[in-house]
Amino acid sequence: MKNKKIVIFLMIILIAIATGVTAIHFEPKAKAERYAVSSWQGDHMLLARLVAGEAEGEPYAGQVGVAAVILNRAKNPRFPSTIADVVFQPGAFESVSNGLIWSRYPSRTHFEAARQALDGWDPTYGCIFFWNPYKPVRGWIWTRTIVTQIGNHVFAK
Amino acid sequence: MLKRSFVWIASLLVLGALVFGYWSVYARASSAENALEAAYQRGFYNLLEHVNNLNLLISKSEVTSSDEQRIMLLTTIWHQSEGARNSIASMPLGSRDMTNMQKFFAQLGDFSYRIAEKLVKKQDVTADDWAKMRDFRKNIQSLSQELRRLQDDVAAGKIKWQEKPDGLFSTRKIKGMADSLESLDQRLKEQAPTITYDGPFSDHVESPTVKGLTGKRVSESEALDSARRVANKIVKDDLKAEIAGKTKGNITAYTVEFKREGNAVPDIIMDVSEIGGHVIWFLNTREIESSRVAIKQAVDNAKAFLEDMDYKGFEATGSLRENNTITVSFVPKQGDVLLYPDFIKVEVALDTGEIVGFNASAYLTFHTERNLPEPKITEEEVREKLRENLSVERIRMALIPDEALNEKLCYEVDVKLDSDRYLIYINAENGNEERILKVVETDKGTMTM
């Protein structure tokens, strides 16, 4: 009986200490070791990660569309001019803010969709916005001209 | 007795560990928060500086009577505008509408660069150009004033990036920076004019006029028919086709999905234009297994498919091999001139040699019978103009688009310098060197950059 209590106490102490220690030693997972050298491969990887983070479970055309929006933004005066700047613009993409872009490794389909967009396929015809109409978004976004809806995303200019 | 002191000691240890745990989490969070606030403030102060510099530079460029000086000032404006764009992009405004401010700086920089270019090439800068510059300055001035007002609020601690309760028990929020900047953006939306000029960020580039659509409006069932005709060329099985939606981009299109019996996911997705019922693009989403088909065979298949689609007289200009597919680019000709803006891409699966992708959106957007100018320069003159260390492999005529979508008739000169290959484009009307592309052989195919 006494031993049991001691064990429980010890466990609580251990858990509490562990919380503190892990909080100190927790390292962010955002490691870039998987980046390839060439810029094409770098862009491909980043696009595939964003597709995985933003369009998991979407139809293939919708995944190509999400990648195409990133590429369209990089060419558009309304957005930064490199793919990395577009993807990492603070607050622009939910999956970057919540870390999903790092925790979810892209599947073969995600890589394919990213590649197809880099090759010039654009099911959105030059769109620079996409959002899920069934989730709450900022009101101004609805003032953009909607071009199409693919799966759970509307695409707009 | 022993038992009691043990309980006390243990409880204190637990309490201590919890406090320590909380403290370390809090310390981490707060240092991360401070680092973010610092990064955002840096973006804001940099923006402020760029705007002040721009204000000064534009007014100087209007005053100077030396064109050399003006060129220097205009290129510095371009540089400072790009800096302003980067500063905006570094602030946490991604979910806000900052598109107008971004565009404003992009166009200011781009436009200044074009004026500098005109001055360098001794072309006329019109009164209208200077009027546009004055409009930019007016907007920069008011932006600069507003930003300085915001800066005062920041300095007084009235305003911060991270919106959070003011103290532990207060519910009053500090007004966020993001709101203030967004309202400046919205003001620019109303005040900054839309401008058209010869640059990549001009308003006309964003939505080019569609020229390649021929024929009359087709109904849903006619669109389905033409989609089926193309699908029958690329797959043997009988797939169920249905209209999945309508897309209202620069080309209005029906999206057609082809499904195998019992499949939830479409096998082929295809867009058919409402005008003329042309297939704009399609993708076969099937898994592609390891390569068995030779590259030459795949390119021949692509070419045969294109002809089967009634796109005749095209020339293959490049190909890119990725995973188990190869994407071949084709370009049509008018006479012996290659029309690069009107390219079509065909993707071939290397396991069976089947066509799995097609993209004619550039062709349908840009293709039209061109009124090509007579070249004022001969091939001989082009050869004489080139540097002596280059060995010319081939010269042919080509129409190329510039960044502002202007089309230029050029001699495409295929040259070698030692073992490196380049394509040099010499304007056939005035002999200007318009562009240089480096041709790189990779294991994926030939890439130009």
Q: What is residue B326's predicted lDDT score, i.e. its pLDDT?
A: 93
Residues B54 and B105 in one domain: yes
Instruction: Provide, as residue numbers in chain A, all residues whose Cβ is less than 8 Å from the Cβ of B85.
Output: 80-81
The reply to whether B3 touches chain A by the CB within 8 Å rule is: yes
What chain A holds in terms of domains, given with CATH numbers, is: 39-156 (1.10.10.2520)
The reply to whether A138 touches chain B by the CB within 8 Å rule is: yes
Residues B350 and B413 in one domain: no
Residues B192 and B101: their CA atoms lie apart, in Å, by 9
The reply to whether A151 touches chain B by the CB within 8 Å rule is: no
The predicted-structure confidence for B33-87, as pLDDT tens digits, reads as follows 888 888 888 999 999 999 999 999 999 998 998 999 999 999 999 999 999 999 9
Whether the predicted pLDDT of A24 surpasses 60: no
The reply to whether B89 touches chain A by the CB within 8 Å rule is: yes
Q: What is residue A39's predicted lDDT score, i.e. its pLDDT?
A: 64
Task: Quickly count: other Cβ atoms within 10 Å of residue B396's Cβ.
Answer: 15
Q: What is residue B164's predicted lDDT score, i.e. its pLDDT?
A: 57
Q: Give yes or no for a contact between B392 and B334, defined as CB atoms under 8 angstroms apart.
A: no
Residues B133 and B255 in one domain: no
Instruction: Provide, as residue numbers in chain B, all residues whose Cβ is less than 8 Å from the Cβ of A78.
Output: 99-100, 102-103, 106
A-facing residues of B in 319-358 (CB < 8 A) are 320, 322-323, 327, 345, 347, 357
Read off the CATH number of the domain in which B233 is found. Answer: 3.30.310
Give B124→chain A minimum CA distance, Å.
26
The predicted-structure confidence for B135-177, as pLDDT tens digits, reads as follows 999 999 999 999 999 999 888 877 777 665 555 554 444 457 8
ipTM of the complex: 0.89
Residue B8 lies in a domain: no
Instruction: Provide, as residue numbers in chain B, all residues whose Cβ is less than 8 Å from the Cβ of A115.
Output: 322-323
Read off the CATH number of the domain in which B424 is found. Answer: 3.10.450
Closest-CA residue of chain A to B2? A2
Instruction: Provide, as residue numbers in chain B, all residues whose Cβ is less than 8 Å from the Cβ of A17.
Output: 17, 20-21
The reply to whether B265 touches chain A by the CB within 8 Å rule is: yes
Residues B200 and B232 in one domain: no
Whole domain around residue B324: which residue ranges?
220-366
Residues B131 and B54 in one domain: yes
Residues B227 and B200 in one domain: no
Residue B45 lies in a domain: yes
Which of B2, B87, B95 should be substituted to probe chain A, the one whose Cβ sees the most A Cβ atoms within 10 Å?
A: B95
A13 and B281 within 8 Å at the Cβ level: the answer is: no
Residue B423 has φ and ψ, to the nearest 5°, of -110, 125
Instruction: Provide, as residue numbers in chain B, all residues whose Cβ is less than 8 Å from the Cβ of A116.
Output: 283, 357
Residue B374 lies in a domain: no
Residue B6 lies in a domain: no
Domains: count for chain B: 3
Residues B362 and B383 in one domain: no
Query: What's the mean pLDDT in A29-48?
Result: 60
For residue A146 the two structure tokens come to 């909607």
For residue A73 the two structure tokens come to 């933004």
Residue B96 lies in a domain: yes
**Beta-carbon contacts of residue B92 (< 8 Å; ≥ 6 apart):** A90, A91, B36, B40, B161, B178
Residues B362 and B392 in one domain: no
A61 and B283 within 8 Å at the Cβ level: the answer is: yes
Domain's final residue, options B341, B366, B391 = B366
Closest-CA residue of chain B to A146? B248
- The rounded Cα B283 to chain-centroid distance in angstroms is 22
Residues B334 and B262 in one domain: yes
Residues B34 and B158 in one domain: yes
Three-state secondary-structure class, residue B304:
helix
